Amino acid sequence: MTRRILVVDDQPDLRLLIRLSLRALGEVAQAASADAALAQLAVSKPDLLVLDIWLGEGVSGLQLCRKLKDDPAMAGMKIMLLSACGQQSDVAAGLAAGADHYMVKPFSPEALLEAAVGLLNG
């Protein structure tokens, strides 16, 4: 069964890095902003959302994560938060927003893949 993953990051280089890292797991789509992500989510719900916290101006990844976790239509979708902020309080805020996993940048593509596999099989 093909897994569907949506990557949300405002940096094109990082979207490419994540897509390359996770493409073995299935179909990897991408969005550059929270709005673009919501538009895609409205069409179809992926198995895993890889979501950067810092999305430039507008809705942050943290806000989007909370919103999606509160949305019954999105039930069952795993969310992995990505952030360059790695302090304990940042991780706690991410988990409090409902994230299933919190990944700190920079990260190893192997570790990202491993965490994604864990979430998809969990």
Partner 1 sequence: MNQTTNAPLPDDEARRLQVLIDLDLLDSPPDERFDRITRLAARLFDVPTALVSLLDAERQWFKSRVGMPLSETPRTASFCAHAILQDEVMVVVDACQDPRFANSPMVKGEHAVRFYAGSPIEVGDGVRIGTLCIVDRVPREFGHEERTLLRDLAGIVANEVAALELKAMAERERRSASAVQALLEHLPDGVLLFDGGGNIVSCNPAAERMFGAPCQALAGLPGATLIGMQPAVVARHEGAGRRLDGGAFAAEVSIAAMTLEGEQHLVATVRDIAWHRAEQERVRAANLRRHDFFRTASHELRTPMASILGFSELLLKREFDAATGRELIDIIHRQATRLVGLVNQMLDLARIDAGGSAQMHPVPLDLADVVARVGAAIEDAAEAGRIVVQAAPGLAPVVADPLRVQQALANVVANALAYSAPGSKVEIGIAAEARNGRAGVAVTVADRGVGMTPDQQRQVYDAFWRAGALPDVPGNGLGMTIVREVVAVHCGLVEIVSNPGDGTRVTLWLPLESRLADAEAAR
Residue ranges in contact with partner 1 by CB under 8 A? 10-11, 13-14, 16-17, 20-21, 54, 56-57, 84-86, 104-110
Q: Which is nearer to partner 1, 16 or 96 (CB)?
A: 16
The encoded tokens of residue 94 equal: 């991410």
Q: Which is nearer to partner 1, 29 or 32 (CB)?
A: 32
Q: Which is nearer to partner 1, 21 or 30 (CB)?
A: 21
What is the nearest approach in angstroms of partner 1 to the Cβ of residue 36?
A: 13
Closest CA relative to residue 50, chosen from 8, 108, 105: 8
Q: Is 92 exposed, middle or buried (0-12, 13-18, 19+ CB in 10 A)?
A: exposed
The neighbouring-strand residues paired with 104 are 83
